Amino acid sequence: MLTVSKDRPLLTTITGSLPRPQWFVENLKGRPFSLAMTELSFREQYCDALAAHFSDQERAGLDLFSDGDARCDCDVGGRSWFGYAAERLRGLEGHHVGRGRTASSRDKVAGDIMFEVLETRVLPNVVGEVSRGDLQYTHVWKVAQRQTRRTVKFGAISAQMLATGLNNLYYPGRRELIMALSQTMNAELNALADAGCPLIQIEEPAIHGMVGVDDKEVSGDFLVEAFNREVRGLRQKTEVWCHTCWGNPAAQRTETKRRYYRDALAYFDKLDVDVLTFEAADNGGDELESFGKAIDPSKKIAIGVISHRTLQVERPEEVANLIRRALKVIPPERLIISTDCGFGRQGMSRLHAFYKMVALTRGTNMVRRELGLPEADVLAADPKGALLG
């Protein structure tokens, strides 16, 4: 149900991941989070990294905070977005060297950066019945939330996207694997919601990547059914978001050709969530009108106004223009301002990520002013802090 973003027109946030501080060199390396947190150097670096991420988001003036996906190991192209879950679920074992099941057209040819990224997607085999294991999402969220009074959302890979990276040696087919993973994640996410997490973001259904491309065995309708199994019961307890984008590993779009959301929107509209997020910055906002038309008014829409794929920091005026265009088809009480995807998958420095967050809130403030809405306090843009006059 809508709680965090209820009655908050133009709420601002980021998708999730942030670049790691350079001094954060410890990694989980397959350990349960709670075990790693008994090691002095990991605990100190992890908690200090959270403090840095929260400080940056506060100085940028964002409303809703992320833990920056600090649990993710420092590996190639954001492998650990898959790896964190894959290395902790029961029923998975060993490591498979292979490309995984992906609908991407970018990953088939040596000489392409995605070819090398996919080479490092070394993930376990599915060898038995899947169950929760040591995911410990509740621990991870609590350790973050206890460091700030601001609301911290929890985001994690969807079961159906995780399934694309696993080598299935146990279930009869992809559908059975996806459904088993969806049920398992559902139990973990319900425990997280029961522990008080106010906002859960499921990241990347496989729908927009596969509909019309690779949907013979796993149809759009099946992916909707599996996703809704994954989130079953959550909306009675917490606010549920579904994040979508066109790829992030090493800041890449995972397709060679431009892809569009349009064929997937009817499926997205059937997802049992409160908020849908869409890329709008990297695509120049050319599908904003479709989002407004295709998505039922009972759902809120979060648009990316900042690209995770470019190092050029957006101007606040560009951000404001994109928001003004979105407002022509989505009213302010339904519109959330975010980024196309996370900043932390080997794409950019902390400096870039920070000023992109500041551009997001400065641009949103321009529109808030026009609408008579209260503006965010952006400490980073306060001239009193400037060293040069």
Query: Which residues are within 8 A (CB) of 354 and not within 5 positions of it... i.e. 6 or more apart?
Result: 56, 59, 60, 380
Question: Could you say which residues in the range 333-372 bind Zn ion, by CB under 5 A?
Answer: 341
* Of 212-220, 239-247, 331-339, 371-379: span binding Zn ion (CB under 5 A): 239-247
Q: Least distance to Zn ion from the beta carbon of 204, Å?
A: 6
Residue among 365, 360, 363 nearest 375 (CA): 365
Q: Least distance to Zn ion from the beta carbon of 291, Å?
A: 16
Q: Least distance to Zn ion from the beta carbon of 75, Å?
A: 17
Q: Please tell me whether residue 131 adopts helix, strand or coil conformation.
A: strand
Question: Which CB atom, from 145 or from 248, has the smaller least distance to Zn ion?
Answer: 248
| 185 forms part of the interface with Zn ion (CB under 5 A) | no
Question: Which CB atom, from 245 or from 313, has the smaller least distance to Zn ion?
Answer: 245
In DSSP terms, 275 is beta-bridged to 241, 300
Question: Which CB atom, from 273 or from 381, has the smaller least distance to Zn ion?
Answer: 273
Question: Which CB atom, from 169 or from 311, has the smaller least distance to Zn ion?
Answer: 311
Contact 316, 359 (CB under 8 A): yes
Give, as one character, the DSSP assignment of residue 98.
Answer: S
Cα 252 to its chain centre, rounded Å, is 15
Q: How far is CA 53 from CA 5, 19, 33, 46, 251, in A?
A: 21, 9, 19, 11, 20
In DSSP terms, 302 is beta-bridged to 277, 336
Question: What distance in Å separates the CA atoms of residue 265 and residue 291, rounded to the nearest whole number?
Answer: 7
| 72 forms part of the interface with Zn ion (CB under 5 A) | no
Tokens 């009193």 -> residue: 384
Q: Least distance to Zn ion from the beta carbon of 360, Å?
A: 16
Q: How many residues bind Zn ion (CB under 5 A)?
A: 3
| 86 forms part of the interface with Zn ion (CB under 5 A) | no
Question: Which CB atom, from 56 or from 282, has the smaller least distance to Zn ion?
Answer: 282
| 306 forms part of the interface with Zn ion (CB under 5 A) | no
Phi, psi dihedrals of residue 20, rounded to the nearest 5°: -70, 140
Q: Least distance to Zn ion from the beta carbon of 342, Å?
A: 6
Question: Which CB atom, from 155 or from 316, has the smaller least distance to Zn ion?
Answer: 155
Read out DSSP for 313-355? PPPHHHHHHHHHHHHTTS-GGGEEEE-SS-STTTT--HHHHHH
| 234 forms part of the interface with Zn ion (CB under 5 A) | no
Instruction: Work out the burial of residue 40: count CB atoms within 10 Å of its CB; fewer than 13 is exposed, 13-18 middle, 19 or more buried.
Output: exposed
Residue among 157, 170, 182, 135 nearest 30 (CA): 135
Question: What distance in Å separates the CA atoms of residue 123 and residue 78, rounded to the nearest whole number?
Answer: 13
Q: Least distance to Zn ion from the beta carbon of 383, Å?
A: 34
Q: Least distance to Zn ion from the beta carbon of 15, Å?
A: 6
| 193 forms part of the interface with Zn ion (CB under 5 A) | no
| 211 forms part of the interface with Zn ion (CB under 5 A) | no
Neighbours of 109 (CB within 10 A): 10
Question: Could you say which residues in the range 131-170 bind Zn ion, by CB under 5 A?
Answer: none
Question: Which CB atom, from 9 or from 247, has the smaller least distance to Zn ion?
Answer: 247
* Of 122-130, 241-249, 287-295, 380-388: span binding Zn ion (CB under 5 A): 241-249
Question: Could you say which residues in the range 245-264 bind Zn ion, by CB under 5 A?
Answer: 245, 248
| 276 forms part of the interface with Zn ion (CB under 5 A) | no
Q: Least distance to Zn ion from the beta carbon of 258, Å?
A: 17
Question: Which CB atom, from 181 or from 245, has the smaller least distance to Zn ion?
Answer: 245
Question: Which CB atom, from 91 or from 285, has the smaller least distance to Zn ion?
Answer: 285
Q: Least distance to Zn ion from the beta carbon of 344, Å?
A: 11
Q: Which residues bind Zn ion (CB under 5 A)?
A: 245, 248, 341
